[in-house]
Structure 1
Amino acid sequence: MDTAPAGTERARSGCMVAVVGPSGAGKDTLMAYAARFFEGRDDVVFARRVITRDAAAGGEDHDGVSETEFEALERAGRFAVSWAAHGLRYGIPVETRDAVAQGKLVIANGSRSALARFRQAYTSLVVVNITASLDVLAARLEARGRETREEILGRLERSSLAVTGDYHVVTIDNSGSLEDAGRALVEALNGCFAD
């Protein structure tokens, strides 16, 4: 019988942490908070996604490519995981698999729709589900100016904020202060190194 404390095996073998959640939940902001906390640690890697969106478009820091370039990278096996959502294509570089195999903690902005692909690609996976109340999500999305509040609320009420499937999931509510949710994310990531 394995009596090792929870998290020990993940730390020994490395771990991919897929950060997921709805638009407006604050995934990028919380990941930036955690990246500042872990700055200088060579055993913690924040993956830079490849996206079919201009790199200067704002939002997360990413490598922007055209559809043609993305397809060429995908054919060449340059992604550990790739998926399409919201009219864009996303890829997690294949080097992240090597980092996990080397015992590193790798954190990537993922997608609930791609979690089965993450599980196939990585030997160890933890899902961090960032949520917020519907009112908070609606206010953040409304500030982007792409939809009316009524359209946003209707879309949010039709979608689930939960992660479905047999995954190790840590849920963080980011309805309050950045400091509270940021500390919760750092604690969750540190938990991957627990003895």
Structure 2
Amino acid sequence: MAIETWADTAQPPGGAFIVLLGPSGSGKDTLISHARRELSGSSDVLFVRRVITRPADAGNEDHIAMTDAEFDAAMDDGQFSLTWAANGLRYGLPRSVEAHLAAGRVAVANGSRGAWDVICRVFPTAMAVEIKVEPEALARRLQARGRESASEIEARLQRASDLTDRLEADIIIDNSGQVEAAGAELTDYIRQARTGSISG
């Protein structure tokens, strides 16, 4: 399935932009929430709230909800660094990311593997954190949330495999087991980025 993307001009290099990539059901939002709790009070780390055209109470992500009309207006007003569309929804990364990175700080966002190329073009310091889950565990999670039919779940699993094959991640985190272990690994990676142990 093609993913439509839009981007403004590339931003100058700055702080590390950590972008989580992985299939739906891999637990990206859960891991981001874990890291946010562990790093609460760290003003140099921005956990980006994406703009999404879905209700605020849908899913587990702390996002900014907009209608399609509001999203169009925000685009016209230049409020996004980049946008993409997938699975019937539209996503946008707000301009606030640019100022934060320009100050040499660290930002963390839930991204999209289909939009990764354009993310890299806009943010040269972007680093891919691939969240992997064993296919059996991923299938169970997708079934448990009850949003898709069996055929839709199978299609998602196939897309997950296809996109993973094309992604060269900076780090791979396995979230097939306990979230605390994967969450600790992500938190440690963010801490390394803060101290300059890793860079984009």
TM-score (norm 2): 0.84
Instruction: Report the equivalent of 2:132.
Output: 131
Alignment RMSD (CA, Å): 1.9
Task: Tell me, yes or no, if the aligned pair for 1:128 and 1:172 is still in contact at 8 Å.
Answer: yes
Whole-angstrom distance in 2 between the partners of 1:30 and 1:142: 20
Q: What are the residue-to-residue correspondences of 1:44-193 with 2, within 5 Å? A: 44-149=45-150, 151-160=152-161, 162=164, 164=166, 169-192=170-193, 193=195
149-158 or 52-61: bigger deviation: 149-158
* 1:129/1:163 contact within 8 Å kept: no
Q: 1:154 & 1:99 partners in 2: Cα distance?
A: 37
How many Å separate the matches in 2 of 1:158 and 1:53?
22
Structure 2 letter corresponding to 1:180:
A
Unaligned stretches of 5+ residues in structure 2: 1-12
- Residue 13 of structure 1: SS of its match in structure 2? coil
Tell me which amino acid in the other structure corresponds to 2:147.
Answer: R
TM-score normalized with structure 1 length: 0.86
Matched AA of 1:59? N
Letter in 1 for 2:63: H
> Secondary structure of the equivalent of 2:119?
helix
Unaligned runs of 5+ in 1: 1-11
* Aligned mates of 2:177, 2:17 — CA distance in 1: 26
Counterpart CA distance in 1 for 2:52 and 2:83 is 10
What per-residue deviation string (whole Å, max 9, x for no partner) do you get for residues 103-151 of structure 1? 1100011101111221122231111111100111110000111234465
Confirm or deny that 1:25 pairs with 2:22: no
CA offset at residue 152 of structure 1? 1.9
Larger Rg: 1
Q: Are the aligned partners of 1:83 and 1:90 in contact in 2 as well (CA < 8 Å)?
A: yes
Distance 1:113 1:172 in 2: 19
Alpha-carbon shift at residue 187 of structure 1 (Å): 1.8
Runs of 4+ off more than 3 Å: 148-151
Percent identity of equivalent pairs: 42
Distance 1:116 1:181 in 2: 25
How many Å separate the matches in 1 of 2:155 and 2:87?
Answer: 17
